[in-house]
Amino acid sequence: MTLRLHDLDLRGFASDNYAGIHPEVLAAIAAANDGHQIAYGEDVYTARLQEVVTEHFGEQAQAFPVFNGTGANVVGLQSMLPRWGAVVCTSTAHIHTDEAGAPERVGGIKLLPVETPDGKLTPELIDKEAWGWGDEHRAQPLVVSITQTTELGTAYTVDEIRAIADHIHPLGMTLHMDGARISNAAATLGLPLRAFTTDAGVDVLSFGGTKNGMLYGEAIVVLDPSASDGLHYLRKMNMQLSSKMRFVSAQLIALLTDDLYLRSAGHANAMAARLRGALEAGIADGSIQGVGFSQETQANGVFATLPAGVAERLREHFRFYDWDASRHEVRWMCAFDTSEQDIDDFVAALTRELAAQSAAS
């Protein structure tokens, strides 16, 4: 018996997590399902994942599948730090704003957040918190964590990442990348994964899959083995060791095979570009008034400002989140299954709400 409780016509722009499982990923889960495999990562799928990861990130790369992005970030950072270590990140970083204090409470990690205009760190911004080594009264800044693409929808270039790595490595610091949307960055940059990770000086990263068509699961990918220690133990300690790991690994293999990660993320990026383009065209011809943009649209997110009250009415038809309610800033996210019709319907609904507001004022 098939049990379906949701409306298939319901569409949203709140998060790429709202999308279902990509059909190719679902097929990979089904293919891995029959028969028995050794538990806790001693299965053939996890072994194959290691081979696939080295193909994308280099021979030294090691993958540690986990359940979710928060787990990947916390456990990965734990492996990079002694008990007295601290992490420099942006004030908008997911580890700082959206992980319920897990890095601090679960990981025992001090975060040193820095304000940024676009969600990206620079060597100069890092220096605001990268100091105090040897001072027993200060948590020691030993890791920098960047997000690719950032929480504000922007993407680091290879040169920007390399500049950070070259700046912090001589200071004895290592570089962590939260790659929850790393596939969107690859699609934006038009580069292989290795080019802006391994070759740019990233030491450890969280490879995201849930936002790009997986059912669940991410992977900690160690790019420099000297920068990480104890993951075999930390993963279990932090409740991130999957007994039926083959199902996480099979999904990651599917994502990294035949460029599925690029195809899915590239489509999501294209839909965000379509959304922004339609709004910009409406602004130019006067059919859309009162809409502004607060960030560049470089991946699958559009950050915009709306007249007061419009977001609430529009949310009666399409779910999305406020980003900064104090200035009526919202975030619209596109996913691998967002269609052109979804975009056109959303733009039409927004245009109607803006027109109704204008007529009432």
Query: What is the homologous superfamily of the domain 261-360 according to CATH?
Result: Aspartate Aminotransferase, domain 1 (3.90.1150.10)
For residues 179 and 150, what is the distance between their CA atoms, to the nearest angstrom? 9
- The full set of domain ranges for the chain reads 37-257, 261-360
Q: Find, among 117, 122, 118, 116, the residue nearest to 144 by Cα.
A: 122
Amino acid 1: pLDDT? 66
Instruction: Evaluate if pTM is beyond 0.95.
Output: yes
The token duo for 236 is: 């279990």
Amino acid 359: pLDDT? 79
Q: Three-class SS string for 216-248?
A: CCEEEEECCHHHCCCHHHHHHHCCCCCCCCHHH
pLDDT digits 0-9 by tens, 2-23: 788 988 888 899 999 999 999 9
pLDDT digits 0-9 by tens, 299-326: 999 999 999 999 999 999 999 999 999 9
By residue count, the chain amounts to 361
pLDDT digits 0-9 by tens, 219-244: 999 999 999 999 999 999 999 999 99
Please state the φ and ψ torsions of residue 246, each to the nearest 5 degrees: -55, -30
* The CATH number of the domain covering residues in 37-257: 3.40.640.10
Q: Using N-to-C axis directions, what is the helix angle for 260-285 and 182-189, rounded to 10°?
A: 70
Which residues of the chain carry a pLDDT beneath 50? none
